[in-house]
Structure 1
Amino acid sequence: MIVFRYLSRELLITLSAVSAVLLVIIMSGRFIKYLAQAAQGLLDPGVLLLIMLYRMPGFLELILPLGLFLGILLAYGRLYLDSEMTVLAATGMSQQRLVAYSLAPATVVALLVAWLSMGLAPQGIGQVARILNAQDALTEFDTLEPGRFQSMRDGSRVTYTETLSENRDALGGLFISEKQLSRDKAKERGITVLVAESGRQEIREDGSRYLILKNGYRYDGNPGEANYRAIRYDTYGVLLPRPEVSAEISDREAIPTSQLFGSDNIRYIAELQWRLSIPLLVFVITLLAVPLARVNPRQGRFLKLLPAILLYMAYLSLLIAMRGALDKGRIPPALGLWWVHLLFFAIGMLMLYWESLRLKLAARRAGAATHG
């Protein structure tokens, strides 16, 4: 029991450290992407932290299995390097018992991952989808910030307002620059610049929104050329486009797991098998990681780290590929993702018993040579 507690503590500490680092890296990358959309006026900056909070369960469901895999490699690798595993092996600690001890913290991780993948993650994705849908209904006028140049339409339009009322009804000191593209959008036809003393938003009966400019000028021409056309206007209307927010979220990812059971829809079957595969993945990678963690103290603890990561990536990539094949009906649901788990389970069992099989084969060869 003392050995079990010691191994579990070492494993969980390393798992927590690795998972925290991976979570920070992944969330930082995704936050930068959302921050870029907010800078373009596609998202309200006030919802960024809320979106990241709702996306966290979806990140953790994939981070925790990888954190467990790397945790076993690093924690047990250190024990091998310090010859602690050699001492434990001398007292009767076999590879099979080490796997059994490792399955206890792996079960905790699997239960947590199952709760995330089948409960919290779909709820969080549903909340994110609702937030992004609400943001998608906003116009350039709704996301405009005074005193800041705001890029819209992939940089083809730049808008600036000097002042903006609290209820966003009135604007002052407006500047709008827009590139005029050809019909195939492959070549610029020039640039249009609008300046106005004030402006207001007007909603038409068909739901379209216009920015009505007052007392200003319109300039049309090509940069670098002197052939510009200047028009003075008293009233000018500009159609406000709706920002297109890239959600990267499918509708089935937000469906509660209870609604996926018993469904005949192949897409729902693929989603259900994926959610069940992630907790199952935890047990299989534990079986793979324990024999991979065994290193020679002279070789160093990182010798098998790269091959182990490549094996894990092959496992996860094959699951993702089979999920896509199942989603498109290329493989039967009965086969689904399960054969991938069986394949890597067999690989793990072979790695676990490889040493004993090798010794048995060597003994048979020695016996055969002796009798001969």
Structure 2
Amino acid sequence: MIVFRYLSREVLLAFSAVSAVLLVIIMSGRFIKYLAQAAQGMLDPGVLLLIMGYRIPGFLQLILPLGLFLGILLAYGRLYLESEMTVLTATGMSEQRLLSYTLVPAFFIALVCAWLSFVLTPQGVQNVAQILNEQDALTEFDTLVPGRFQAMRDGSRVTYAQELSGGRDELRSVFISEKRDVRKPSDKEEGITVLVAQSGRQEIQEDGSRYLVLHDGYRYDGTPGDADYRVIHYDTYGVLLPKPEIEVKMGERETMRTAELLGSDQPRMQSELQWRLSIPLLVLIVTLIAVPLSRVNPRQGRFLKLLPAILLYMAYLALLVAARSALDKGRIPVAVGLWPVHGVFLLIGLLLVYWQPMRLKLAQRRAQKESQNA
């Protein structure tokens, strides 16, 4: 029991450290992407942390198997390097017993991954989809930042306001540049409309339609590089704003509950179900692979087998993704699905586990035969 606790602690410490580093790296990249969208006015900065919180389960369900795989390699590699594993082997610790000890914490990590995959990740994806759809329905006033030029409508409109009231309905020193189409007898050329105003106000009508009403400004219509342009001075100018429409996509397979996937015969739904089942199964199989791969010679160094092990893991994950894509397109029968990939790497793990004992037994038999012949 003391040896089991010691080995489990070493594995869990390495697993926690690797998983934390991977989570920070992945979340940093995703947060930078969302932050850039917020800077462009596509997202409200207030929902960034909420979105990241809902995305954490989806990140963790892919990070935890890799974290456990690397944690076993690093923890046991250190024990082999410092000859601690040699001492344990001399006291009767076989590789099969080492594997059984390692499978206990791996089983609990697999349960956590199953909970993430079956419950938390679909809920998180659904919440993120709802937030993003609500963000798409926001008007320019909801995401406008005073003193900053912001691109709207995929870059076709640029809006600037020097000041913005607390209720986000009044603007000061407004600048709006929007692309438009100018039709000429010969062809169709792109033009620009520029609106400048001393102030502006958002007005909501009884039917829910929204207008941007500008006061005391100019409108410029023309084509860049062309001297033919038009200038209009106005006291009041009204612009109809798109009416927000919230449309949350509830039918996406990533947001569906696992119970709903179980009752579906569609290949795409079965593909999603098998993918969710593959996450906890992946944890157990990579544990089976990692334990024999962690065996290193102290003279060879701790990281000798780390790169081949990572490549083997990447091949496993890449084959799962390719099989999932083929299952989505109907190239693989649903009954076959992703299971052959798991079967192949399960066989690889069993071969790695029993290859060394088989070699030792064969070597002992050869030595006995040679001694008898002598």
Per the normalisation by structure 1, the TM-score is 0.90
Question: Offset of 1:202 from its aligned partner?
Answer: 4.7
Q: Look up the SS of the partner of 1:96 in the other structure.
A: helix
Distance 2:150 2:243 in 1: 14
Corresponding letter in the other structure for 1:262: G
Counterpart in 2 of 1:144? Answer: 144
Write the letter of the residue equivalent to 1:91: T
What's the counterpart of residue 359 of structure 2?
Answer: 358
Aligned residue type for 2:348: I
Distance 1:6 1:366, change over 3 A: closer
Deviation readout 1:11-56 (Å, 9 max, x if unpaired): 0011111111111111111111111111111111111111111111
Distance 1:73 1:294 in 2: 8
What are the ranges of 5 or more consecutive residues in structure 2 without an aligned counterpart? none
Q: Equivalent residue of 1:192, what SS?
A: strand
> Match for residue 199 of structure 1?
200
Q: Do the aligned residues in 2 keep the contact of 1:218 with 1:230 (CA within 8 Å)?
A: yes
- The 3-state SS of whatever aligns with 2:99 is helix
Q: Which residue of 1 aligns with 2:127?
A: 127
Bigger Cα displacement from structure 2, 87-96 vs 154-163: 154-163
Residue 336 of structure 1 aligns to a residue whose secondary structure is: coil
Contact 1:42–1:243 (CA under 8 A) maintained in structure 2 = no
Q: Structure 1 14/182 Cα, relative in aligned 2: closer, same or farther at 3 Å? A: farther
CA contact (8 A) 1:103 1:283 kept: yes
Match of 1:51 in 2: 51
Q: Distance in 2 between matches of 1:200 and 1:358?
A: 82
Task: Look up the match of 2:38.
Answer: 38
- What is the alpha-carbon distance in structure 1 between the residues aligned to residue 319 and residue 206 of structure 2? 52
Secondary structure at 1:134's aligned position in 2? Answer: helix
Tell me if structure 2 keeps the 8 A contact 1:125–1:249. Answer: no
Cα separation, 1, equivalents of 2:138 and 2:160: 17
After the TM superposition, which residues 66-145 of structure 1 pair with which residues of structure 2 at under 5 Å, given as runs? 66-145=66-145
CA contact (8 A) 1:42 1:244 kept: no
Mapped partners of 2:324, 2:243: distance in 1? 34
Once structures 1 and 2 are overlaid, which stretch shifts more, 14-23 or 348-357? 348-357
How many residue pairs match? The answer is 368
Q: 2:338, 2:123 → 1: CA distance?
A: 24
Is the CA contact (8 Å cut-off) linking 2:209 and 2:243 kept in structure 1? no
The amino acid across from 1:45 in the alignment is P
CA distance in 1, matches of 2:249, 2:109: 27
Question: Relative to structure 1, is the Cα distance of residues 13 and 226 closer, same or farther in structure 2, using a 3 angstrom cutoff?
Answer: same
In 2, Cα distance between the equivalents of 1:364 and 1:188? 87
- Partner residue in 1 for 2:190: 189
Q: Give the secondary structure class of the aligned counterpart of 1:34.
A: helix
Match of 2:159 in 1: 159
- Write the distance in 1 (CA, Å) between the matches of 2:242 and 2:88: 68
Moved more, 301-310 or 164-173: 164-173
Give the Cα–Cα distance (whole angstroms) in 1 for the partners of residues 232 and 338 of structure 2: 65
Secondary structure of 2:348's aligned partner = helix
For 1:61, give the aligned amino acid.
Q
Q: Deviations over 1:41-81 (max 9, x none)?
A: 11111111111111111111111111100000000000011
> For the residues of structure 2 that align with 1:350 and 1:3, how far apart are their CA atoms?
25
Q: Which residue of 2 aligns with 1:318?
A: 319
C-alpha spacing 1:306/1:181, structure 2 compared with 1 (3 Å)? farther
CA distance in 2, matches of 1:210, 1:252: 38
Cα shift at 1:305: 0.8
Residues in 2 aligned to 1:7 and 1:325: alpha-carbon distance in whole angstroms:
40
2:300 paired residue number: 299
SS of the equivalent of 1:158 reads strand
Aligned partners of 2:354, 2:244: CA distance in 1, in Å? 58
Q: Quote how far apart the aligned CAs of 1:153 are.
A: 3.1
> Within the alignment, does 1:233 sit opposite 2:220 as a pair?
no
Return 77-86 or 209-218, whichever deviates more: 209-218
What do you get for the CA RMSD once the two structures are aligned? 2.9
CA distance in 2, matches of 1:160, 1:287: 59
Q: Provide the rounded CA distance (Å) in 2 between the counterparts of 1:39 and 1:13.
A: 38
What is residue 7 of structure 2 aligned with on the other side? 7
CA deviation after TM superposition for structure 1 residue 193, in Å: 2.3
Equivalent residue, structure 2, for 1:219? 220
**1:65 corresponding residue in structure 2:** 65
**1:159 maps to amino acid:** T
Q: Which residue identity is paired with 1:290?
A: V
**Residues in 2 aligned to 1:330 and 1:366: alpha-carbon distance in whole angstroms:** 52
In 2, the alpha carbon distance for the partners of 1:132 and 1:46 equals 13
Whole-Å Cα distance in 2 between the matches of residues 319 and 368 of structure 1? 46
Deviation (angstroms), 1:365:
6.2
Instruction: Please give the alpha-carbon distance, in whole angstroms, between the structure 1 residues aligned to 2:148 and 2:120.
Output: 38
TM-score after normalising by structure 2: 0.89
Change (3 A) 1:198 1:48: same
CA distance, structure 2, for counterparts of residue 248 and residue 257 of structure 1: 17
Bigger drift between 126-135 and 353-362 goes to 353-362
Moved more, 115-124 or 261-270: 261-270
**Could you tell me which residue of structure 2 aligns to residue 269 of structure 1?**
270
State the Cα distance separating 1:320 from its structure 2 match.
1.1
